Amino acid sequence: MPLSNMAVRDIETVIHPYTNLARHREVGPLILNEGRGIYLYDDTGKRYIEGMAGLWCTALGYGNEEIVEAAASAMRKVSFTHAFGGKSHDGVIELSEKLKEIAPCPASKVLFGTSGSEGNDMQMKLTWYMNNARGKPEKKKIISRIRAYHGVTIASASLTGLPWVHNDFDLPIRNVVHTSCPHFYRYGQEGETEDQFADRMAKDLEDLILREGPETCAAFIAEPVMGAGGVIMPPKGYFQKIQPILEKYDIRFIADEVITGFGRTGSWFGTETMGMKPHSITMAKAITSAYFPMSAITIEEDLYQAMLDESRKLGTFGHGYTYTAHPVGCAVALKTIEIYERDKIMVNAKKMSPVFQSRLMKLADHPMVGEARGVGLIGAVELVADKATKRSFQPKQMAGATAVNKLQELGLIVRNVQDSLALCPPLIITTDEIHEMFDIFERGLDEMEAWATKENARAA
């Protein structure tokens, strides 16, 4: 089928993130021009279930007029003012107070950015800043995890533990190290229980700290659920075993709540669901239901005192973005959080979670699926060539990408991380919509089974 005029124009003008740019020139874009509720519509009028809430972010779905009006009203009132030089506005004050109120860790102040990448970049930068203020200039290494995802700026991409984010970008940078990935299905040893695996993961972390030198290790960053790495669930007790090690070696604990924040796991924050006790959290995505680009990090009192010391010494806090605490973003975030509370979105997420997880876990019986995993309204299935041995498909077969394309043709948008297929629908989803989504998903898996047979894709 020839490409449309708009598709050709896209190919000649747009760079698409996380896209095979060479193949894109052949197949063109999916042009999505309208959204309502959990559905998107392309330029031909075809309807799709947005099974990923955009990129893990559009929690309230599409076309929420209250949020649209909040943005429009804010633009009419003051379209822009910055936060430099002590300038402020009602929205940022009210939003900061609200975020301190709902944060799952003690928060002295809040600092804003426009993306999760920026948020985690700031976490890294301020950890270094704090340890300079504390007279510990050697304490600078940030520990992340293999298969973690923390963003794509130079610093946050270094924290990310995925090879395609590092390869040929000359990353990671100095002072970033990665410990083991806590994925029991893939990395558990024969005969090892989940609890023993969690013990080994904790030992791997402590061994890394001792190898690098505790006096050089400044922070540990972790997602409650490793979202863009494949929706990897931590083994039971993992964070409870990690926490004492971080405390023992005076290591700042940062929770990346960019995906799991604002109800995704059934609680306000994934930190609460997983029993974590971080010093600080990074928020983005659902803070505005993705209607405006915004992120925030909480600033604990110890960090704030260090920032005060540095400001006295240097004469200023030398950090900030043009769009830090943008008044329109603050208004959108405040309205979004108001809707979460007023409409009991967390209650709906908890109510829908058993329906979602039941349908998800049944997929583990499918011949194409090695593991189904998830919590709340987030989950994934991992496609395998051999269920008994957990053998993956060969990378060149692109099983995950093939499945995404088949599901898209059937009217469901999902995302693959290699051969794991992720689901993360808007939190407003209903029981009937969950069943509609999984009915399509099951048809897609059946088509993948036929594909594997036809292509002899299971051959070792």
3-state secondary structure of 221: strand
Contact 260, 227 (CB under 8 A): yes
Name 6's Cβ contacts closer than 8 Å, sequence gap at least 6: 31, 43
State the pTM of this model: 0.96
Mean pLDDT for 279-307 is 98
- pLDDT at residue 460 in the model: 77
185-192, Cβ contacts within 8 angstroms, sequence gap of 24 or more: 185/370, 185/371, 185/373, 185/382, 185/390, 186/390
For the stretch 426-439, pLDDT in tens is: 999 999 999 999 99
Q: Would you place residue 148 in the very low, low, confident or very high pLDDT band (cuts 50, 70, 90)?
A: very high
Q: Among 383, 410, 415, 386, which residue's Cα sits nearest to residue 399?
A: 383
Q: Among 421, 442, 411, 418, which residue's Cα sits nearest to residue 378?
A: 421
Q: Tally Cβ neighbours within 10 Å of residue 405.
A: 14
Taking the C-alpha atoms of residue 203 and residue 211, their distance in angstroms, rounded to an integer, is: 12
Mean pLDDT for 141-158 is 98
- pLDDT at residue 227 in the model: 97
For the stretch 209-249, pLDDT in tens is: 999 999 999 999 999 999 999 999 999 999 999 999 999 99
Structure letter (DSSP) for residue 413? E
Name 313's Cβ contacts closer than 8 Å, sequence gap at least 6: none
> Token pair for residue 243?
């926490």
Domain with residues 66-342, CATH architecture: 3-Layer(aba) Sandwich (3.40)
Q: Would you place residue 1 in the very low, low, confident or very high pLDDT band (cuts 50, 70, 90)?
A: confident
- pLDDT at residue 2 in the model: 86
- pLDDT at residue 113 in the model: 98
CATH topology (fold) of 31-63+344-454: Aspartate Aminotransferase, domain 1 (3.90.1150)
Q: Tally Cβ neighbours within 10 Å of residue 173.
A: 13
String of DSSP letters for 3-72? PPHHHHHHHHH-PPTTS-HHHHHHH----EEEEEBTEEEETT--EEEETTHHHHT-TT-B--HHHHHHHH
Across the beta sheet with 32-36, what order do the strands follow?
32-36, 39-42, 47-50, 412-413
Mean pLDDT for 384-391 is 96
Mean pLDDT for 409-429 is 98
Taking the C-alpha atoms of residue 96 and residue 409, their distance in angstroms, rounded to an integer, is: 43
- Whether pLDDT at 459 is above 90: no
Omega before 172 cis (within 30°)?
yes
Q: Tally Cβ neighbours within 10 Å of residue 80.
A: 12
Domain boundaries, the chain: 31-63+344-454, 66-342
Mean pLDDT for 87-96 is 98
Taking the C-alpha atoms of residue 233 and residue 182, their distance in angstroms, rounded to an integer, is: 8
- Whether pLDDT at 72 is above 90: yes
For the stretch 318-364, pLDDT in tens is: 999 999 999 999 999 999 999 999 999 999 999 999 999 999 999 99
